[in-house]
Chains A and B, each alone.
Chain A
Amino acid sequence: MISKLKLDAKAIEMARNAAGSIAEDVQNFIDQHTTVAVERTIARLLGIDGVVDGEYPLPNTIVDHIIKGGGLGLGVAYWLGNTMVYTGNNPQEIAEAVASNQLELTKIPPQDITRVKNAIHEIAQKAASKIWSNRQKRQERINTIGEGNKPYLYVIVATGNIYEDALQAQAAARQGADIIAVIRSTAQSLLDYVPYGATTEGFGGTFATQENFRIMRKALDEVGEEVGRYIRLCNYCSGLCMPEIAAMGAMEGLDVMLNDALYGILFRDINMQRTFVDQYFSRVINGYAGIIINTGEDNYLTTADAVEEAHTVLASQFINEQFALQAGIPEEQMGLGHAFEMNPDLQNGFLLELAQAQMAREIFPKAPLKYMPPTKFMTGNIFKGHVQDALFNLISIWTGQGIQLLGMLTEAIHTPHMQDRYLAIENAQYIFNNCKDLGEEIVFKENGIIQKRAQEVLVEASELLNQIKEDGLFKTIEEGKFGGVKRSRTGGKGLKGVIPIEEGYFNPFIDLMLREERRCQ
Chain B
Amino acid sequence: MSIENIDFRRVKPYGDTLNDGMVQLSFTLPVPYGEEGKEAARRLAHSMGLDEPNVVYSKDMGGGFSYYIMYGKCQHTVDYSSIEVVKMEVDTLSMEEVEEFIGKNFTRDIVVIGACTGTDAHTVGIDAIMNMKGFDGHYGLERYKGIEAYNLGSQVPNEELVAKAIELKADAILISQVVTQKDVHIPNLTQLVELLEAEGIRDKIVLACGGPRLSHELAKELGYDAGFGSGSYAEDVASFVVNEMVKRNLK
Contact = CB atoms under 8 A, between A and B. Distances in A.
Interface stretch (A183-191, A352-360, A449-457): A183-191
Interface string B174-189: 0000010110100000
B190 interface: no
Interface in A291-347: 302-305, 343
Interface string B78-110: 000000000000000000000000000000000
Interface in A113-169: 158, 160, 167
Given A170-B63, A267-B121, A412-B230, A204 B181 contact: yes
A415 interface: yes
A158 B179 CA distance: 12
Given A190-B155, A418-B65, A305 B133 contact: yes
A160 B155 contact: no
Contacts of B61: 171, 174-175, 418-419, 422
B13 interface: no
Contacts of B124: 302-303, 375-376
B86 to A, nearest CB: 21
Contact of B120 (A186, A302, A343): A186
A419 B155 contact: no
A301 to B, nearest CB: 10
B59 A187 contact: no
A186 B179 contact: yes
Nearest to A422: B61
B65 A304 contact: no
Contacts, number: 80
A10 interface: no
A175 B231 CA distance: 34
A187 B119 contact: yes
Nearest to B122: A186
Interface in B15-42: 26-28
B194 to A, nearest CB: 20
A295 to B, nearest CB: 18
A413 interface: yes
Given A204-B179, A268-B154, A419 B133 contact: no
Given A203-B182, A414-B181, A419 B27 contact: yes
Interface string B57-68: 001011101010
A167 B63 contact: yes
A418 B28 contact: yes
Contacts of A305: 133
Q: Most chain-B Cβ atoms within 10 A of its Cβ — which of A160, A186, A375?
A: A186
Interface in A353-385: 375-376, 379-380
Interface in A398-419: 412-415, 417-419
B153 interface: yes
A171 to B, nearest CB: 5
A171 B136 contact: no
B127 interface: yes
Nearest to A345: B136
A343 B136 CA distance: 8
Given A412-B212, A414-B181, A303 B63 contact: no
A164 to B, nearest CB: 12
A404 to B, nearest CB: 20
Contacts of B153: 269
Contacts of A170: 63
Interface string B120-131: 111110010001
Nearest to A379: B230
Contacts of A349: none
A488 to B, nearest CB: 13
Contacts of B230: 379-380, 412
A303 B123 CA distance: 8
Given A380-B212, A419-B28, A171 B63 contact: yes
B188 to A, nearest CB: 10
Contacts of A267: 121, 123, 154
A171 B133 contact: no
B142 to A, nearest CB: 11
A472 interface: no
Given A303-B123, A484-B131, A269 B154 contact: yes
Nearest to A159: B181
A203 B181 CA distance: 7
A203 B118 CA distance: 11
Contacts of A268: 121, 154-155
Given A186-B119, A415-B181, A174 B155 contact: no
Contact of B119 (A204, A343, A376, A417): A204
Nearest to A380: B230
A80 to B, nearest CB: 34
A412 to B, nearest CB: 6
Nearest to B179: A204
Given A186-B122, A204-B119, A204-B184, 5 more contacts: A171-B61, A174-B62, A186-B155, A203-B181, A412-B212
14 contacts: A171-B62, A171-B63, A174-B61, A189-B121, A203-B179, A203-B182, A204-B119, A267-B123, A267-B154, A302-B127, A413-B212, A417-B28, A418-B67, A484-B132
Interface of B: 26-28, 59, 61-63, 65, 67, 119-124, 127, 131-133, 136, 153-155, 179, 181-182, 184, 212, 230-231
**Sorted from nearest, which 9 A-B pairs have the closest CB atoms?**
A174-B62, A187-B119, A186-B121, A204-B179, A203-B184, A419-B28, A419-B67, A418-B28, A302-B124
